[in-house]
Amino acid sequence: MKSEREPTNGFNMSARLYRPRYDGPLPQRGGNYSGPRGGSKNQQWGSKSFQNREQRPFQDRQQKWSQNREQKPGLHKGSSNPEEPASATQPEKKKEVEDWRIQKEMLKAKFPDGWKPIKRLSPDALAGIRALNAQFPDIYTTSNLAAKFEVSPENIRRILKSHWQPSAEEEQSRQERWHRRGMQIWEKKAALGVKPPRKWRAEGITRDPRYHDRRRARIQRDKLWEEEETNKYRAYREGLQKAAGKVV
């Protein structure tokens, strides 16, 4: 009579009952697999080969999709017509303008005649700086020239370093440009009440006539105030003298 006992190959029946159900064949690294429960002893459910088998369909679809995209790059994903290129459905993008072009246009609109800073040295001043430094280098140093002309020492250094000489036409154009600039500057100063030099008064740049009217009115007002103060002081002195005579 055969005795019923557990198999000696290490296989537990209770563990077999609670094992997850899987009807398909198990993947193996090598050799054939035997039936739905066969396979090598080292094969496990979470093995790398099993995971690769589960991910293979997705990888195949992804590879096929990338191949179709390379073959037909003009297809649009949301287009109803698959043969219609994407450029026909999507609006054309505007060409981006560089930042320096935008800034250049803004400066051109702000300064139509170009940049005109308040403090600039005329061609005559540049020639004078070079001549002074060449004749008296110990006295008219870079720092002294910068303090005298009210510019930075770096500007003086660049002026002395430069040996550029304009042609006759360029020099005439520069002189005319500086003459116009001087007229504009002194017109603004004359409007503020500053008396222009004789050179610019000869050019017809004078202060506003109303300035002289205001000046005469101010002078007359000051004279009246001074007379009133003088009369008050005289009356005060006379009162003191009368009071002193009565006391005596």
d(CA 177, CA 171): 10
d(CA 136, CA 128): 12
2-6, 63-67, 110-114, 149-153: the lowest-pLDDT one: 2-6
In this prediction, residue 90 carries a pLDDT of: 61
Tell me what percent of the residues of the chain surpass a pLDDT of 70. Answer: 62
Residue 33 tokens read as 């697999």
pLDDT at 42 over 60: no
Domain assignment of residue 70, yes or no: no
Question: What single-letter amino acid sits at 208?
Answer: D
Q: Tell me: the pLDDT tens digits for 164-218?
A: 888 889 889 988 998 998 999 999 999 888 889 999 999 888 887 787 788 888 9
Helix 123-135 with 142-149: angle, nearest 10 deg: 150
150 Cβ partners below 8 Å, 6+ apart? 119
132 Cβ partners below 8 Å, 6+ apart? 140, 145
Domain assignment of residue 138, yes or no: yes
Q: Is the pTM value of this prediction over 0.85?
A: no
Domain assignment of residue 220, yes or no: yes
| Residue ranges making up the domain that contains 145 | 121-165
Strand-pairing partners, residue 85, are 75
Residue 179 tokens read as 């003459």
Q: Tell me: the pLDDT tens digits for 132-158?
A: 999 999 999 999 999 999 888 888 888
- pLDDT range class, residue 24, cuts 50, 70, 90: low
Do 198 and 183 fall into the same domain?
A: yes
Up-side HSE of residue 198: CA atoms within 13 Å toward CB?
0
In this prediction, residue 212 carries a pLDDT of: 78
Domain assignment of residue 155, yes or no: yes
Do 185 and 199 fall into the same domain?
A: yes
Query: How many separate domains does the chain show?
Result: 3
Do 127 and 160 fall into the same domain?
A: yes
17-31, 118-132, 182-196: the lowest-pLDDT one: 17-31
Domain assignment of residue 24, yes or no: no
pLDDT at 72 over 70: no
